[in-house]
């Protein structure tokens, strides 16, 4: 589960593309989609961003699930944990990927905590973490697994580009530096962790 709309694509979009291409069913949870009553070009932010995320998931071959939390109101409380846990239980995953818990963004931290709490209560699936904007948001992340992005890079970028309301070029620029650095660590041009 990710906290906002571009994080699945920028953080682990390559993994999603890889898994769906191999025939796996992938569900992507979006904890937040909007901030209060904000509008984008006169439309509610939630509508615009959900539309963008649904299109990105279509490109990736994944199924989106939108939780109805305002960006500023996501917390890892019991009620939210119950909703997230119920969704995970209904999906019956083999693997769950979420934000690394040491993160300066409060929603990334809350999303990670919700997944961790669900894991402690339910288990039965493998838990992995991803990074976003390492050093700026994700802190002290030491990858153990790398994914060579060469076969999926264009599709990962294409799904990020549909998030026109969120400055995809700026997000890509930050993540491209991360891709190149992680690639050097594992001996490929670009990698995702």
Is 71's pLDDT higher than 80? no
What tokens were used for 18? 């890889």
> What helix, strand, coil percent values describe the chain, rounded to 5?
50, 20, 30
Q: Which of 147, 190, 192 is nearest to 22 (CA)?
A: 147
List helix spans (H) across the chain: 7-21, 45-60, 78-91, 106-122, 153-161, 168-186
How many percent of the chain have pLDDT more than 70?
96
Q: Which of 141, 103, 144, 109 is nearest to 126 (CA)?
A: 144
pLDDT value of residue 106: 86
Length of the chain: 193
pLDDT value of residue 3: 46
**DSSP letter string over 133-150?**
STTTSB-S---S--EE-T
Domain boundaries, the chain: 7-192
Name, of 7-11, 29-33, 148-152, 165-169, the range with top average pLDDT.
148-152
Is 4's pLDDT higher than 90? no
Report the pLDDT averaged over residues 68-81. 88
Neighbouring C-beta atoms of residue 177, cutoff 10 Å: 13
Report the pLDDT averaged over residues 153-174. 92
Q: What is the pLDDT of residues 90-117, one digit of tens each?
A: 999 999 999 999 988 888 889 999 999 9
Mean of per-residue pLDDT scores for the chain: 90
Report the pLDDT averaged over residues 153-177. 92
Q: Which CATH superfamily is domain 7-192 in?
A: LmbE-like (3.40.50.10320)
Whole-model pTM: value is: 0.92
Q: Which of 92, 97, 144 is nearest to 116 (CA)?
A: 97
Residue 105 vs residue 184, higher pLDDT? 184
Neighbouring C-beta atoms of residue 104, cutoff 10 Å: 12
Is 2's pLDDT higher than 70? no
pLDDT value of residue 72: 81
Residue 59 vs residue 37, higher pLDDT? 59
């Amino acid at each position: 589960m990710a906290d906002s709309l571009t994080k699945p694509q920028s953080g682990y979009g390559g993994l999603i593309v890889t898994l769906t291409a191999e025939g796996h069913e992938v569900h992507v949870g979006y904890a937040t989609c909007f901030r209060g009553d904000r509008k984008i070009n006169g439309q509610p932010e939630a509508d615009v961003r959900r539309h963008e995320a649904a299109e990105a998931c279509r490109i990736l071959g994944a199924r989106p699930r939108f939780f109805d939390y305002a960006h500023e109101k996501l917390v890892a409380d019991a009620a939210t944990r119950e909703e997230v846990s119920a969704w995970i239980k209904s999906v019956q995953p083999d693997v769950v990927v979420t934000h690394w818990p040491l993160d300066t963004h409060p929603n990334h931290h809350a999303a990670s905590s919700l997944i961790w709490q669900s894991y402690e209560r339910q288990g039965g699936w493998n838990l992995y973490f991803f990074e976003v904007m390492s050093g700026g948001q994700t802190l002290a992340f030491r990858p153990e697994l790398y994914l060579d992005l060469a076969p999926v890079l264009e599709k990962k970028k294409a799904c990020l580009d549909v998030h026109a309301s969120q400055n995809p070029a700026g997000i890509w620029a930050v993540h491209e530096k991360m891709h190149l650095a992680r690639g050097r660590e594992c001996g490929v041009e670009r990698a995702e962790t």
